[in-house]
Amino acid sequence: MITEKLLTLPQTADYLQVSTGKLYRMAKKGRIPASKLGGSWRFKKSRIDKWIDELETSNTK
């Protein structure tokens, strides 16, 4: 079974080049694909990449 590594909030904020506070607010409001695991936000990199692609597509229309 292949499992994808989950990124923490600080790791994802660094990847997206945004502050941890901004990312936390986005996750809490459901504006970015995220899951709560044991009280902490976690992010799948593949879902984040897909979300970015979808944003780019919608911004070019």
1-60 per-position pLDDT tens digit: 557 889 999 999 999 999 999 999 999 999 999 999 999 999 999 999 999 999 988 877
From residue 28, how far is each of 20, 21, 51, 56, 57 by CA, in Å? 12, 11, 16, 22, 24
Domain span at residue 51 reads: 8-59
State residue 32's pLDDT score: 98
State residue 61's pLDDT score: 64
Task: Determine whether 24 is exposed, middle or buried from the number of CB atoms within 10 Å of its CB (0-12, 13-18, 19+).
Answer: middle
State residue 19's pLDDT score: 98
Q: Is residue 2 part of a domain?
A: no
| Assigned token pair, 1 | 């079974």
State residue 58's pLDDT score: 82
Domain count, the chain: 1
Q: Is residue 20 part of a domain?
A: yes
